[in-house]
Structure 1
Amino acid sequence: MRFIKLLLLSAIVFGTMIFLISLLFPSRAIVERSGVIDAPIEKVYAQINNLSTWPEWNPWAAPDVAQKITFADKKEGKGASYTWSGMQREKPVSGTVIITESSPAKGVYYNLDFSRMKPMTGAFEIKPSADGKGTAIQWRLETKLGMLPWWKLRGFLADKLTGPQLETGLTKLRNLCEQK
């Protein structure tokens, strides 16, 4: 009986310590990647503003992830959206993307809801490159993690989990935009 009490007390103390330590962790995770595309800003904007082009370069809209994509009537600019579903690692996944703001001078901002994940806000910020010949682009995803320790721990892993996908997407976007 004494062993069970000690075990129960240890579990409560350990759980409380984990929760208290997690209060020191950030409550949001931000993953960013940037690059330069040797193409006019109008060409880059046309790709990121039109959701029907996303399956060509966006890793979450790729056919191996999003086997079924349903576009809304509006596919470009503010209010454009699509829903998708598919299988990833033998588990069903689904999501929704809605463009919340779009401007050739700033870029494209959107909301992303992904099954079994916290909602995210995303942004493609664009501006002329330093030499004026191309387009500087930054892709950013932000997730509000809340107070639960397991979500905050996932926030520490966000860059390792999501960063490579952003890099792959930007590389595909660059290759697509730089084609003559």
Structure 2
Amino acid sequence: MTILTKAAIGAGIITAALLATQLLPRDVTVMRKAQVNASPSDVIALLASNEGYQKINPYKASDENLKITLFGPSSGVGSGFHFDGKDGKGSQTVARVTDTSIMFDIDMGTMGQPKQIVEVRPNAGGSAVEWRMEADLGRNPIARIFGLFMDGMIGKTLDQGLSNLNTAA
């Protein structure tokens, strides 16, 4: 086999692998649910508050050196914080608040711009809370491969946040 033939086969394999990654899901959602012993309005008020969110921030337990800088109003749309820690650097901003849900825009630069949505429904003894992270991985083949492992990477964090929420609320 000539060098040219080997190069053509190698290029064909790489092209096929890149095309195959485009068959992987572009959108990824990781979701966790829990019962929280607080009313929906108390849960939403806690999450919509800069200082309140820091009481349940799931990353604080796993990163003692996490740096948080609050910005914007103390609560509601536009409030948020910058973070810098072992899991990344970026910002989280309250983008929408309703009586039953809150949405956060997260900006981690080249690592992505996922959204977190927390939906709260009244339930016996408190609230049924659904916390999910949604990400559009675009056409990036590496991101799409990482998308296959997102539930394992982010799920534990959402579980910790729900546990913290139940304690704080």
| Residue of structure 2 equivalent to 1:157 | 149
What SS is found at the alignment partner of 1:60? helix
| Residue pair 2:44, 2:100 contacting (<8 A) in 1 also | no
What SS is found at the alignment partner of 2:111? coil
Counterpart CA distance in 1 for 2:62 and 2:82 is: 13
Match of 2:106 among 105, 112, 115: 112
1:60 aligns with 2:59: yes
What is the Cα deviation at residue 82 of structure 1?
A: 1.4
With structure 1 as the length reference, what TM-score do the two structures score? 0.84
What is the Cα deviation at residue 60 of structure 1?
A: 3.2
What is the Cα deviation at residue 66 of structure 1?
A: 6.0
| Residue of structure 2 equivalent to 1:134 | 126
What is the Cα deviation at residue 168 of structure 1?
A: 1.0
**Identical aligned pairs, as a percentage?**
24
| Residue of structure 2 equivalent to 1:51 | 50
Counterpart CA distance in 2 for 1:41 and 1:71 is: 24
What is the Cα deviation at residue 144 of structure 1?
A: 0.6
Across the two proteins, how many residue pairs are aligned to each other?
Answer: 169
Counterpart CA distance in 1 for 2:76 and 2:64 is: 24
| Residue pair 1:29, 1:144 contacting (<8 A) in 2 also | yes
Counterpart CA distance in 2 for 1:126 and 1:9 is: 55
The structure 1 segments of at least 4 consecutive aligned residues displaced by more than 6 Å after TM superposition are none
Counterpart CA distance in 2 for 1:61 and 1:110 is: 18
With structure 2 as the length reference, what TM-score do the two structures score? 0.89
